[in-house]
Amino acid sequence: DIQMTQSPSSLSASVGDRVTITCRASQSISSYLNWYQQKPGKAPKLLIYAASSLQSGVPSRFSGSGSGTDFTLTISSLQPEDFATYYCQQSYSTPGFGQGTRLEIK
Partner 1 sequence: EVQLVESGGGLVQPGRSLRLSCTASGFTFGDYAMSWVRQAPGKGLEWVGFIRSKAYGGTTEYAASVKGRFTISRDDSKSIAYLQMNSLKTEDTAVYYCTRLSRGHDAFDIWGQGTMVTVSS
Binding site for partner 1 (CB under 8 A): 1, 32, 34, 36, 38, 43-46, 49-50, 53, 55, 87, 89, 91, 94-100
Q: By C-beta, is 8 or 15 nearer to partner 1?
A: 8
Residue 7 contacts residue 101 (beta carbons within 8 Å): yes
- In whole angstroms, give the CA distance from residue 25 to residue 9: 15
Q: Which of 19, 25, 32, 24 is nearest to 84 (CA)?
A: 19
Q: By C-beta, is 16 or 41 nearer to partner 1?
A: 41
Q: By C-beta, is 36 or 71 nearer to partner 1?
A: 36
